[in-house]
A and B are shown apart, each in its own frame.
Chain A
Amino acid sequence: MEIKVDKTTCTGCSLCKNFCMYDAIEITGGKAIINDNCIFCGACIDACKFKSIEITGIHEKNFDFSAYSGVMIFIEQHEGTVAEVSYELLSEGRKLADALGSKLYGIMPGYELKEKISGIFNYGIDRLYIADNEIFKHNIDDIYSKILVQAINKYRPDIFLGGATSFGRTLLPKVAAIIKTGLTADCTALSIDPEKKILLQTRPTFGGNVLATIITRNARPQMATVRPHVMAKEPVQNAENRQTDNYLKYSDRIEFLEFDPLNFKTKYKLLSREKELGQSINLSDYDVIVSGGRGIGGPDNFSLIKELADSLGGVVGASRAAVDSNWISYPHQVGQTGKTVNPKVYIACGISGAIQHLAGMQTSDIIIAINRDPDAPIFKIANYGIVGDLFEIIPRLIKKIKNGKGIT
């Protein structure tokens, strides 16, 4: 395997050098030279306008993938409640299946699922594979991976998707490792290459500064985890609604997987599972996040942020600076070393907008920034900006919200 620069076409423009995150390129004598610390990430190849860079000598295995078809979604649930991301994936999966002219499948392990799942059929699913047994009561990696692998091996989907939740991000790598296929992590966009009919998987990397498009080579299914709250949840327009809570009414579209529960052994002993004490801190559950940063000034002032969040039915977030100062606990942290969120509205109060923070929230639908410093980087990515003192503005805003109307 080798990476080469074509000296006859290279103009020494150094575009490639700018794109190399690993500082592996130098321009010497008007030509690009690639050093040994190159990790073959491919960024420079795409950056070069003159198509001068090429990676050669990759071993290609030629496989016939014609036995694989359809899009299969792992439908994640916790104690019978279907994770929102599963509906988003079904909506996205329907589009991908249509683009391929193939079918949409769901695989759902769980326990006592009956009443909880008929909503799934509003998303244009062609077939739902169910494994309903007490062994699936808790989400345990090795138990779940076994049944997913069974379904993949039996039904051979061309594409397999799951949510990039904490469970999905440890379960799916295990499944991919068993099946021996690739897995693209935490995608924010999926599409089908119209010619090659393969899945183009796009995801943010390098802290959200760069998007990478990834393909699965030499193996099937093409597997990806997908970031929650990114894909739209779109029930199919004329979905027949059979007005029922009993999934058996959909028996024409359900298939029960056959398995012997005794074959499902686990290495994990779940000792306890408890809700986080205090206020719920799953930031991604909320449509509105009000975050405070260094400009909040101290722990006590977070009550103001909380009051605003509460009045909007939202949740409190924070920058790393605020968490590191112990003004608020870590689960509230948004950013590269905290949580990545994408709510409908993100209100950043007294947050300057370090790139690591932006990485965790820049895909929010609407970003509102309140900051004293007009040059704060946060304003570069905000939809609405207010330069001013948050202690002057927020209390007034809360009052207006509480009064339910403005004072015009």
Chain B
Amino acid sequence: MENIFRIIVCIKQVPGTTEIKINPETNTLVREGIETVINPFDTYAIEEGVRIKERMQQSGSEAEVTAITMGPAQSESILREAISLGADKAILLSDRAFAGADTWATALTLKNAVKKLEGWRLIILGKQTLDGDTGQVGPELAHMLNIPFIGYASSIEHISGQKITVKRLAEDRYETFEVRLPAAISVGKDINVPRVPSLRGKLKAKNETIPVLNIADLSMDEKDAGLSGSYTQVIKIFTPKHVYEVKMIEGSPDEQAEELFTKLKQLNIV
């Protein structure tokens, strides 16, 4: 078999939340020119994939990065973005039957897609998304593929064709784990500084054909995909009641400091 070190990067399209505001009168969401973006943490995943590829290439091995997403047809744009950032290939998993997937159904769909690929050694994910924000897809996917998962990686200490050593920050401590490949990791923003797209990358992104796999291509049953295949279901979405009533502390700096001090005393903080 050809000996290419293949890296899979999982990415997701999310609504850019900067655009979302809450209308205080009606307590509803006001979206101004909503745009969907690549999940911010996933850009670090792409960058790390590309860096590992470059590392492998420097040590004389061939390596390749494939970006993969499950989502509506529009998600193709984030795959092109991934290519402009250095991914070599991209795959879109798209089918109406995938819609409404919880993390379980998402992981299962990704697993079926990954199983179709050959020679992959490492899967990189973002540590969580801006919308669902669970961070569960990584550990669930890794379990389904029967490979180890290391979450919240803050640096790759060492990687060879066989093993990876990853350091991660867990609460107040650093932990360094070594696992055999294939493995999956998730990354946050402390792992690298993503590059800007290169001209060559942009050109490639424009011209690349991106294969789309549907539920039949993944040989999945409709009842295992999307909302039907999910164990969790969102039954209600609402905006938190903002009942904050700010009390302004006025006066000279000295008076302000004095009143704040009194408040802190009342709160038993001093």
Contacts and interface: CB of A to CB of B under 8 A. Distances in A.
B233 A214 contact: yes
A101 B186 CA distance: 40
A325 interface: no
A19 B173 contact: no
A267 B232 contact: no
Interface string A266-281: 0111111111100011
A285 B172 CA distance: 9
Given A21-B34, A58-B228, A356-B18, A383 B247 contact: yes
A380 B232 contact: no
A174 B143 contact: yes
Interface of chain B, main secondary structure: mixed
A254 interface: no
A191 B96 CA distance: 33
Interface in A10-62: 15, 18-19, 21-23, 36-43, 46-47, 55, 57-59, 61
B231 A218 contact: yes
Contacts of A330: 189-190
Contacts of A43: 234, 237
Interface stretch (B1-9, B59-67, B260-268): B260-268
Interface string A195-217: 00000100011111111111111
A37 B34 CA distance: 14
Contacts of B168: 166
Interface of chain A, main secondary structure: mixed
A137 interface: no
Contacts of A387: 248
28 contacts: A23-B34, A36-B96, A37-B72, A39-B71, A41-B234, A42-B233, A42-B234, A55-B227, A174-B143, A183-B136, A209-B239, A211-B240, A212-B236, A215-B235, A269-B179, A273-B173, A273-B176, A276-B172, A336-B130, A337-B189, A355-B21, A356-B17, A356-B18, A368-B263, A381-B242, A382-B244, A401-B264, A406-B261
A257 interface: no
Nearest to A202: B236
Contacts of A40: 99-100, 226-227
A36 B233 contact: no
Contact of B29 (A46, A210, A275, A285): A210
Interface of B: 15, 17-18, 20-22, 28-31, 34, 36, 40-41, 71-74, 96-97, 99-100, 102-104, 107, 130-136, 138-140, 142-144, 147-152, 165, 168-180, 188-190, 222-223, 226-240, 242, 244-249, 253-254, 256-258, 260-264, 267, 269-270
Given A205-B132, A386-B249, A397-B261, A380 B244 contact: yes
Nearest to A365: B267
B265 to A, nearest CB: 8
Given A46-B237, A205-B131, A396 B257 contact: yes
B223 A59 contact: yes
Most buried by B among A1, A142, A407: A1
A385 B246 contact: yes
B165 A271 contact: yes
Interface in A263-319: 267-276, 280-282, 284-285, 287-288, 311-313
B258 A39 contact: no
A368 B260 contact: yes
B104 A345 contact: no
Given A18-B28, A59-B229, A205-B237, 7 more contacts: A19-B28, A22-B15, A180-B231, A185-B132, A213-B234, A216-B232, A337-B188
A70 interface: no
Given A1-B96, A386-B248, A182 B140 contact: no
A287 B21 CA distance: 29
Return the 5 tightest CB-CB contacts between A and B, nearest first.
A40-B100, A182-B231, A185-B134, A182-B232, A396-B257
B30 to A, nearest CB: 7
A82 interface: no
A388 interface: yes
Contacts of A214: 232-235
A39 B263 CA distance: 47
A153 interface: no
A181 interface: yes
B72 A36 contact: yes
A195 B267 CA distance: 40
A115 B180 CA distance: 37
Contacts of A18: 28-31
A158 interface: no
A312 B270 contact: yes
B249 A217 contact: no
A379 interface: yes
A186 B237 CA distance: 16
B223 A406 contact: no
Nearest to B223: A59
A74 to B, nearest CB: 15
Contacts of A367: 244
Contact of B17 (A57, A182, A206): A206
Contacts of A386: 248-249, 256, 260
A21 B228 contact: no
Given A169-B151, A211-B239, A383-B246, A282 B29 contact: no
Interface in A136-193: 141-142, 165-167, 169-171, 173-174, 176-178, 180-186
